[in-house]
Amino acid sequence: MTAPILSLNSVTKMFGDAVALEPLDLAVTKGEFIALMGPSGCGKSTTLRMIAGLEQPTSGAIKLWERDITDLPPWERHMPMVWQSYALFPFMTVRQNVEFGLKEQRKFTAPDRRKKAEEWMARLEIEGFAARPVQKLSGGQRQRVALARALALEPEILLLDEPLSALDAHLRLQMQGELRRLHAELGITFVYVTHSQSEAFSMADRVAILSEGKLQQIGSAREVYAAPANRFVAEFVGASTILTGTAKGDGVIETPVGTFHATGGHAPSAGASATFLVPSNLVDLSASKSGAANEVHAELLTEEFTGAFVTLHLKLADGSLMKVQTQQSDLDRLGLNVGAHIYASWAADAAYILEGE
């Protein structure tokens, strides 16, 4: 097994007395697209800044291949970053921005530099604005300049700090596709920070989920989705209903809204409290009691039409909420309206028991 291109060994960060990051171990493989994600304040941006050298870890080491770079200043790390605010130099043109890092490298003559800059501007389809001052560009265009500027340095590792959050939804989706394409074409390692689960899932090979300075889970998107490590991850990843009850042994769990069979995930001992997930897209609906093994009676609260499917919010007997994803066609077939009574059921192996509580 080859060494990881980037590794964080027990890296922590404190700001005064406040813990921003608890000991974090992370190994990034060469060429992978890894996303650090989590809610605001979880430590993902702090981690990225430490990788870039813009913050100093309070303890722990950061290594590039086998080399300890913890004390290396940012200008010697060769890990260009694409910033959330783009951070383009305001008094320079697009070309000057893109050439900035190249100029510092001193291994190019002016004509070579220009050629390389043109190459990358063309790749990001901004060669038309080369001479334009960056003030005059739209958000999407600035985004591309920021990318070109970073990629022109042809680094081994590219850092991205929520680069798409300032774009509108349509542009964002478009850029997600472009970033995936670039990653595949260039074979560079991408370390990507975001608070958006959908962004991370659609682009990354692996996702690392952080909350309040602690790493909650790391794995591929599918792994994390199918087998969340704990309640936080399950909720963050989002498309499941979470039910809590007492285990009775043999996968039987007694909850306030009924007794269910759950065979996926962990196996709590009898008497322990247990939490399990019901993925929204694996729930069947019927207008009347179908007699299935895991079934609950619910009241339809709201419908959210998102185009590809409809998300329904159901209220269960004890007041808790259940999320169900279904097709519009199913809804039509059932002829349901808000306030209607409905029965939701799922297979025992669709339910996934979380570790602990």
Positions that interact with another protein (CB under 8 A):
49, 52-56, 71-81, 83, 85-91, 100-101, 103-105, 134-135, 142, 149-150, 153
Q: Which is nearer to another protein, 139 or 356 (CB)?
A: 139
- DSSP labels for 184-230? HHH--EEEEEES-HHHHHHH-SEEEEEETTEEEEEE-HHHHHHS-SS
Q: Which is nearer to another protein, 45 or 255 (CB)?
A: 45
Q: Which is nearer to another protein, 28 or 81 (CB)?
A: 81
Is the distance from CB of 147 to CB of 154 less than 8 angstroms?
Answer: no
- Answer positive or negative: Cα dihedral of 329, 236, 217, 46: positive
* Least distance between another protein and beta carbon 15 (Å): 8
Determine whether 207 is exposed, middle or buried from the number of CB atoms within 10 Å of its CB (0-12, 13-18, 19+).
buried
* Least distance between another protein and beta carbon 74 (Å): 4
* CA separation for the pair 282, 231 (Å, rounded): 19
* Least distance between another protein and beta carbon 113 (Å): 13
Q: Which is nearer to another protein, 78 or 248 (CB)?
A: 78
* Least distance between another protein and beta carbon 271 (Å): 50
Determine whether 61 is exposed, middle or buried from the number of CB atoms within 10 Å of its CB (0-12, 13-18, 19+).
middle
Q: Which is nearer to another protein, 62 or 344 (CB)?
A: 62
Residue with tokens 């290594």: 63
* Least distance between another protein and beta carbon 254 (Å): 51
* CA separation for the pair 175, 82 (Å, rounded): 13
